Amino acid sequence: MAVEAEGGGRLARTTDDSQVAWYNDPKVRGWIYQAVTLGLIIFAVAAVVSNTIYNLEQRKIAQGFGFLDVTAGFDIAIALIDYPKSATYGRALLVGLVNTLAVAAIGIVLATFLGFIVGVARLSKNFVISTIATWYVEVIRNIPLLLQIFFWYFGVLQILPQPRDSLEPVPGWVYLNVRGLFMPAVEFTALTGWMMFLALVAAVVASVFISKWSRKRQEATGQQFPVGLTALGLIIGLPLIAYIVSGLGLTLTAPERSRFNVAGGLTVRPEFVALLVALVAYTAAFIGEIVRAGIMAVSHGQTEAAGALGLRTGPILKLVVIPQAMRVIIPPLTSQYLNLTKNSSLAVAIGYPDLVYVGGTVLNQTGQAIEIVAIWMAIYLTLSLLTSALMNWYNRRVAIVER
């Protein structure tokens, strides 16, 4: 229904919304655009899938993941889990995944530790310390990671002596050469191993409960409890007690040196060391800047107030500044953890058998390109989502709640 009204010398005409054509309704147009876009996406995906299936059939390439049960028939130089000669392609990919997880987990811990040191050092009032930290950040993060991996592998580790001229830091027990660091292998009896594992689990659980109790105690009384030292004592002490109680079931197997080689014992390969050092150094440079930005985001008045209460620099940083800076640090820190995990795929450049390296070998032998790439994508996506979920949970735990 149309209504005419005179106001301000002009004739205004309004139209009832029910009279507006449906194609002029913004909401309807929005739904139409979304439906058309979704349809185009579905059509594109269907066309790609159909074309891929047709090409595979034309080239008589088998489809599916049945190849994972076929015997692999190739060796893996670094296997952190059992990898027999009769292992399947699925087992080989599992070995590559474990190798990737080992580098990522150790790298995240070390990069976080080094990054926090660098970030705090950049804000130091000591000119030498702050200058060294600044140069470290500016140099390391501006050199491509792949070049750093090459530097540590070819420029540092490959100049070590050959096996027959191995260095012996501990004669008869430890050897160092171009093939790696050979150390005694530690073997526990079944009883000792299980008792130490259960003791370690009990120590971790006890540390968690002590941490919660300490927090409530501090809120109630203001008194602090040495949670860190207590947890360290439990984690070291309980497994040691379990080892003694179980009868000292420990055997050391020393590496054996021949004329041209060193075999046996525990071996740390140069590929692993080069990749880990490069990832840690590169990622720590970025984490250092994140930590510096988080600390600078905390109001300087907080530091002055803590100093007025008589706190020293160390306790101020630990108890006042860092807890408040974490809300700024954690979100970008999560991205660096994800980058480190994904950057570990550069291990293929120096022959470290990670997931991508082993998957590439499987792909060359089986021709299952689509399946291998799908496995890569699924695994890295899962790792990224799990890391993000864990960091988001931790971010909620340390968030400052205003009451």
* Residue-wise pLDDT tens digits, 210-258: 988 988 888 788 787 888 889 999 999 999 998 888 877 778 888 888 7
- Kindly give, in sequence order, each residue whose CB lies less than 8 Å from that of residue 96, ignoring residues fewer than 6 positions away: 76, 353, 354, 355, 356, 357, 358, 359
> What is the distance between the alpha carbons of residues 366 and 231, in angstroms, rounded to a whole number?
49
Of the ranges 137-151, 227-241, 308-322, 355-369, the best mean pLDDT one:
137-151
When pLDDT is averaged across residues 389-403 and rounded to a whole number, the result is: 80
Please tell me the number of Cα atoms within 13 Å of 202 on its side-chain side: 14
**What tens digit of pLDDT does each residue of 9-19 get?**
454 454 555 56
Q: β-pairing, 10-15 with 167-170? A: unpaired
pLDDT of residue 1: 45
Among left, alpha and beta (phi > 0; psi -120 to 50; other), residue 320 is alpha
pLDDT at 49 over 50: yes
Whole-number mean pLDDT of the chain?
A: 87
Q: State the burial class of residue 272 (Cβ atoms within 10 Å of its Cβ: 0-12, 13-18, 19+).
A: buried
Q: pLDDT tier at 133 (50, 70, 90 boundaries)? A: very high
In the chain, the percentage of residues whose pLDDT exceeds 90 is 47
Q: Is the pLDDT of residue 367 over 80?
A: yes
Res 61 pLDDT > 80 = no
Other residues' Cβ atoms within 10 Å of the Cβ of residue 164: 12
Contact partners, residue 217, CB within 8 Å, separation at least 6: 223, 225
β-bridge mates for residue 12, sequence order: 5
User: Burial level of 51, CB count in 10 A (0-12/13-18/19+)?
Assistant: exposed
- The reported pLDDT for the residue numbered 11 is 47
SS3 (DSSP) at 182: strand
Mean pLDDT of 174-188: 88
pLDDT tens digits, residue range 278-314? 999 999 999 999 999 999 988 888 888 888 888 788 7
| Burial status of residue 184 (CB atoms within 10 A of its CB: 0-12, 13-18, 19 or more) | middle
pLDDT at 275 over 70: yes
- Which is higher by pLDDT, 97 or 189? 97
- pLDDT score at 227: 85
Which pLDDT belongs to residue 400?
A: 67
What's the average model confidence in pLDDT over 58-77?
83
Element (DSSP H or E) covering residue 98: helix 89-122
Is pLDDT at 205 greater than 90 in this prediction? Answer: yes
- At 7-45, the pLDDT tens digits run 444 544 545 555 667 767 788 888 888 999 999 999 999
Check pLDDT > 60 for residue 101: yes
Largest CA distance in the chain: 109
Residue 403: which pLDDT band, with cuts at 50, 70 and 90?
low
Percent of the chain with pLDDT over 70: 93
Tokens, residue 207:
């540390």
Q: Give yes or no for residue 272 having a pLDDT over 70.
A: yes
User: Higher pLDDT residue, 301 or 120?
Assistant: 120
